[in-house]
Amino acid sequence: MKVTDNLKMFTGRANPDLAQKISEYLGIRLGAAKLTRFPDSELLVKIEEDVRGRDVFLIQPTCAPVHENLMELLIFIDCARRASAERITVVMPYFGYARQDRKDEGRVPISAKLVANMIATAGADRVLTIDLHAGQIQGFFDIPLDNMYAEPVLGVYFDQLKLQNLVLVSPDVGSVKRARAYIQRLGGEGFAIIDKFRVNASQAEIRQMIGDVKDKTVLMIDDVITTAGTVCAAAQLCKTEGAEKIYVAATHGVLCGPAVERIRNSPITELVVTDTIPVSQEKADAIGKLKVLSVAELIGEAIHRIHNDQSVSSLFLNGQRPTAARGAPNSGDE
C-alpha cells in the first residue's frame, strides 16, 4: 500500500479504538496530540509533531457527548490549520445532528447545515463520512464530502450467514433504497416495507406492513438505531406477521436511553452494528444479542485513496469489498 510520510493521522477522544484499527490497516502510527482542560473546563488541543505541508486526517465521530466531541473536532481542525497543514480531511464516521436536516415545522433550525458550516469555517478541506441519514446533506457542505456506505461490511457478514427464506424489510419508506442495495448482494425471496408515522422527535408509530414475512427470515436494515423504539416495534410486527427469525442491521448504533432493555426484550434474533460509534462491552453484554463489525478497513482504504488522489466512489462499484481480502494488510478485526 502506498502511504507516504506526508500523511499524518490524528484522533480525538470520541472513538480512539477505531482510529487505532485504521492506523494498523494503513501501517502508520497515530500522530501525537495532547488534549487537556483548563480549570474552567475550556479545552486545549496541541499537536505535538510537525504537520506543516502535510496531508492531515482527523478522526472524530460526533457521537455522544455530541457537543463535547463536536467542539473538540472544531478546535482540532483550527489547530491543524494554524500549524500550516497542507490539507485537512475530517473523518467523521458518524455525523451528529444529521437528522435535523430540514424545517419540518415553524421556528426550528436546520442544525445539520449549521454544523456543516462550522466544520468548513474551522478550516477543513474535505469530509469523509459513512451512511448520512439523508443523502442531500452532502449539499450542506461547501467543501468536498465523500459519503461512504457500510454495505460492503454488513453485506459480507450476512452473506456468510447464508440465511434461508430471506426477506429484506425496510423499516420505513426512506430506507427502501438502502434495503435494495442489500437485495442485490444477498438475493432473497421478497421485500417488505413498514408503514411508519413520525409522531415527534422521540416517538414513531408503526401502522402496518406492506409485504409478506410469514415463515421467513427477516433482515431489517436501517442507518441508525437510537432508542430502538421503532426497530423493536417493527420487529414485533414482523413476529406477529409470522416471521421465524429477525435480524436487524444498522450502520450507527447510538443505543441510548431505553435501547438496551428494548432490544433485549424484543423478538430480534441478532442486532448487527458497526463501530462508527463506540459500543461499550458492558452495553453489549447487557443486550446479549449484539454483533459489532469494524469499518476500519473501509475507512482506511478511503483515506489511502484520498491521500493518493484516487477514486473513493469506485470502492462501491461491482460489489467490491474494500478490506484485507483485497490484498491490504489485515488488522485482525472483523
- Does 145 lie in the same domain as 11? yes
C-beta atoms surrounding 38 within 10 Å: 8
CATH of the domain at 184: 3.40.50.2020
**Range from 44-53, 62-71, 197-206, 246-255 carrying the lowest mean pLDDT:** 197-206
Q: Return the minimum-mean-pLDDT range out of 5-9, 65-69, 151-155, 196-200.
A: 196-200
Residue 286 lies in a domain: yes
Same structural domain, 27 and 143: yes
Does 169 lie in the same domain as 142?
no
| Mean per-residue pLDDT of the chain | 91
Across 103-107, 146-150, 280-284, 306-310, least confident range: 103-107
Tell me, yes or no, whether 271 lies in a domain.
yes
Same-domain status, 80 and 112:
yes
What domain range is 217 assigned to?
151-293
Indicate if 225 and 238 belong to the same structural domain. yes
Task: Kindly report, residue by residue over 295-321, the tens digit of the pLDDT.
Answer: 999 999 999 999 999 999 988 875 454
Q: Are residues 161 and 283 in the same domain?
A: yes
**Residue 334 maps to a domain:** no
pLDDT for 190-209, tens place per residue?
889 998 766 555 566 777 89
Task: Single out the catalytic residue among 196, 214, 239, 283.
Answer: 196
pTM of the predicted model as reported, rounded to 2 decimal places: 0.91
Q: d(Cα 8, Cα 112) in Å, to the nearest integer?
A: 28
Residue 28 located in a structural domain: yes
What backbone torsions phi and psi does residue 300 show, to the nearest 5 degrees? -60, -40
Q: Does residue 31 carry a pLDDT above 90?
A: yes
Active site residue 196: yes
Max distance between CA atoms of the chain, in angstroms, equals 61
- Cell match 440465511: residue? 163
